[in-house]
Amino acid sequence: MTTNSQEWLDARKAWWDKEEQYKQVLQTSTNFYELEKALYILDRLKESNSSFNCDEEGARRHEMLNEACLDAEFKVLEVCSEFAKKRNLIKAAREEAQIAQGNFENINFDELQKSKEVA
């Protein structure tokens, strides 16, 4: 038997809302485009860095590429650090969704017990 009590409806809505929030946090937090881009740039820079002339222009180019490699490595670390922070958001959103689901299941169980007592 399905119930339509306001408490049951509110609990179900809260659960669905928390599930949707969790899905959104998960989707936005696991976009690794910036990491992929930084790793690609780093790889290309390292390839370019291995082929340079030994003259003054080559030495200057080599130093610029080394600096660019360091910047790309820093970007990789920065993106990983940001994900580590977002990981806590993902965990919190998942826990909130689980709590809301548990609350709904408790209310649903209570409603079913009430309907059995009435019947």
pLDDT for position 17: 95
- The pLDDT confidence band at residue 51, using thresholds 50, 70 and 90, is low
Is residue 106 in a domain? yes
Is residue 78 in a domain? yes
Residues contacting residue 108 through CB under 8 Å, at least 6 positions apart: 3, 8, 11
Domain range enclosing 71: 6-118
**97 near 15, Cβ under 8 Å?**
yes
Is residue 107 in a domain? yes
Is residue 1 in a domain? no
Cα 45–chain centre separation: 28
Query: DSSP character for 50?
Result: T
Residue 34 main-chain phi, psi, to 5 deg? -60, -40
* pLDDT, tens only, 1-49: 456 789 999 999 999 999 999 999 888 887 788 888 888 888 887 777 6
Q: Has this prediction a pTM greater than 0.75?
A: no
Is residue 114 in a domain? yes
- Counted domains in the chain: 1
**89 near 25, Cβ under 8 Å?**
yes
